[in-house]
Structure 1
């Protein structure tokens, strides 16, 4: 499928922007022998006048700017003319207040234009930043192949990254990297597994998925997120009862709360640094026609990737002006050697900072275990509620007994002294109320 056909499938009424004027000397800035003939052959072969097609159309029910790459045109490579088109498209999007969808299929910078082509990466990155500061959402679609500069300066920098199954995705293309460097790390599937792409989406699904995502990122509201409903329950009589109820296998978990609360939701996945934590669910959901960002713990000990993914979600929601709902449920942060090597402390600090800096309202519901700093990092100061099946503590009672060098039989007593029940937390001013 040509990029014009794909753009037409994704965006109804697609109309290309007039390309910015870029004047070239014969055979380009380097005087590369035969370059003008190569360009002419590429135009004849593809029907495109450059490797990039930029324009505006309707995605679902909403307008958007599209930046599409034609790989058949010199490998979708970027030279001065193509770079100018990408920059112009992002600047138009910022001026019009429209989201950008990049349909990427590129081998990188155009060799025949040398350093003048390579410099386009800086200009494109700067244009992306200008749109970012204008609160413009950027969705990238990784098609086959997405390598080199367009992966590093454009696609990997997007707010949401979708990847077409089977696509080659890597900084180094197959012709320039180590011959033994093959397999999943260099594929769309590998990028999803490593937390560098949010979702795998076939090209046939793109119109529907992009329409859903554009609609979610458009329906912004300054109002705080509503609290999910909780099952009516009596309050626990003792601290140890509160702990056991929070740990019970049959109580509702984060996914159940999210499914009941939102009419639909779109997950984002991964910390963009090689990690995925299935114990941290992040994304955007629709509630009564408006969008709410969510970050929800699922009852496991979260890894550094989980904390970084939640921080990424909160920063994105804050920039776009979308309120945030967090669901707290973790026995605490993963304290394994692997977690320490992956930067557990800095990852938790990053999440604390994202919550503290957020200008949008963050609403927290504690639905299970509130285990120390790993839970507190996801908790909104002054806007936290709790269910009757939950607790929050400075440390787990068992660990507390160990620190105090007390007999394990005294753990229930220590749980009581910690005043970790929902009603205790309300009296101590940590939560604003008990839901359900």
Structure 2
């Protein structure tokens, strides 16, 4: 079992020195033994208070983390298992209201076993209250970055944890909707861990405790300092334009051509990644998403890597664009894929709906989206990531309705005509500019 920190200990670990100021709590007097008159409930709370020095299971306040002010919500697991009751709900609501009033991001430091049994359905109903406050804060364009401590289960995971924009977790933390006492007897305990949630795309990263303050500081800085726009990167590969369509295809497929990571390294001074589609999937080999610093300000990125993109990759990119849009952060997309993954598993994972989701995210984004075609642009699986009217192309790229070989098959031409088909499709960078598919500039 990982080491557990009290609410005050975790606050001391992540906050800049002497910056934490606890919020005032406006809590009414509760009925004897709570709303259900649960025998011994008052005595349990008194023992918890004596043991922890706290009057409730959360401590809420404001502080600076790496110089960025935020509202922090720290759970005290030693107080009745960090459970949520009506007074917990009062404190959580007040924290979110304060965040919106002062335009501050929210950082829940979660460690809870769920809702408080001694308050029954009134305790469970606090989850609706918390969900509403989180949604209002999201609508206000304020970031929420959750840290999952040990344990994070039940409603606390399903609201403050899983409902955050970015989800970090401490190593070995128990994380799952079902707590350890209510799981099936044959359940694999490894499935209820921070590492498993990251692997399933339900959390973004596992962060060691000694790196937590620095990591939170970086995320807070990036999500609160947006750039005005995302200028397209300079091309890193070939400079001369291809002579024929087939030349463009060969260039784009060359193993020597720079890929997404090279462009991201050149464009950003620093960057952090988000991971997973929050639907149980990841596509680390096909799509890279996150936020980075370009010329001192934040730009979001979604970059294809040259592999076939899987449904989880499209959903992660859509998640990234929606988050950037809410926070007013411009987006850079890098297009480079032979097309969407088209195997049977991709169909079972909802390839069509995932691509549709990304098309919609790009089409409805209010924040500026800039696209650079850096390699292969294969069909709708590439176009879904491209910004209408603001797509640029490098000299070693092409964009096509489908790969020339497949186009020949569809047109019932022999394989030998794939090259001539590529020429007729007008897929070279200069063709794309002439057709109005991409913008013209010295990058071509």
Q: 1:370 aligns with which of 377, 389, 398?
A: 377
Residues 1-400 of structure 1 aligned to structure 2 (within 5 Å): 1-12=5-16, 13-221=19-227, 223-231=228-236, 233-278=239-284, 279-400=286-407
Name which of structure 1's ranges 179-188 and 137-146 shifts more when overlaid on structure 2. 179-188
Q: SS at the partner of 2:70?
A: strand
Equivalent pair of 1:162/1:198 in contact (CA under 8 Å): yes
CA positional deviation for 1:227: 1.2
Q: Distance in 1 between matches of 2:55 and 2:9?
A: 15
Equivalent pair of 1:397/1:411 in contact (CA under 8 Å): yes
Q: SS at the partner of 2:399?
A: strand
CA positional deviation for 1:236: 0.5
Q: Distance in 2 between matches of 1:22 and 1:209?
A: 37
The runs of at least 4 aligned residues of structure 1 exceeding 4 Å deviation read none
Equivalent pair of 1:386/1:431 in contact (CA under 8 Å): yes
RMSD: 0.9
Q: 1:408 aligns with which of 389, 405, 415?
A: 415
Residues 240-260 of structure 1 show CA distances to partners (whole Å, capped at 9, x for unaligned) of 110011011111000110011
Q: Distance in 2 between matches of 1:343 and 1:23?
A: 51
Q: Distance in 1 between matches of 2:90 and 2:188?
A: 33
The normalised TM-score by structure 1 is: 0.99
Q: SS at the partner of 1:27?
A: coil
Equivalent pair of 1:242/1:421 in contact (CA under 8 Å): yes
Aligned residues: 435
CA positional deviation for 1:261: 0.5
Q: Distance in 2 between matches of 1:76 and 1:408?
A: 65
Residues 211-248 of structure 1 show CA distances to partners (whole Å, capped at 9, x for unaligned) of 01100011123x22011111351100010110011011
Q: SS at the partner of 2:20?
A: strand
Q: Distance in 2 between matches of 1:132 and 1:330?
A: 32
CA positional deviation for 1:405: 1.3
CA positional deviation for 1:206: 0.8
Q: Distance in 1 between matches of 2:181 and 2:270?
A: 42
The normalised TM-score by structure 2 is: 0.97
Equivalent pair of 1:225/1:325 in contact (CA under 8 Å): yes
Query: Which sections of structure 2, spanning at least 5 residues, go unmatched?
Result: none
Query: Which sections of structure 1, spanning at least 5 residues, go unmatched?
Result: none
Q: 1:427 aligns with which of 411, 434, 444?
A: 434
Q: SS at the partner of 1:334?
A: coil
CA positional deviation for 1:182: 2.2
